[in-house]
Structure 1
Amino acid sequence: MARALRLLPPGVEGQYFKAAPEGWLFGAPRPWLVFGPRPTYLVADAQKAKRTSQLRDFDWR
């Protein structure tokens, strides 16, 4: 099922991903009331594309 509205603009990659020698560092979104650093994971190029798609398609309401 395709969503009619995408809340995150193109370029969301810059907010959640940083280049690393082994791939990409993905800083996962965290709940609103959690303090401290967000969880960070090392992902490959294929995983980066999948995570970006999931972030854009997520219902942020």
Structure 2
Amino acid sequence: MVKAAGVDDQPLEKDTVLCVKTSEGRIGRLKVTSLEDWGPKVKFEAVIWNLASDSAATAG
């Protein structure tokens, strides 16, 4: 269940995709690539997009 402000917790399994927002306001996608059977280790493939203002500044 997704709340307007996000989720409190999310069960993870391989190929789970999460959307995130960084403290700088960038939007990102995290995809679980591996989980350890024991212990809290999770590996993600991450994509973080620039802010629109960042793109405009580098394009000019």
Q: Give me the TM-score of the superposition, normalised by structure 2.
A: 0.30
TM-score by length of 1: 0.30
Structure number with the higher helix fraction is 1
- The answer to which structure, 1 or 2, has the higher relative contact order (CA under 8 A, 6+ apart) is 1
Larger Rg: 2
More strand by share: 2
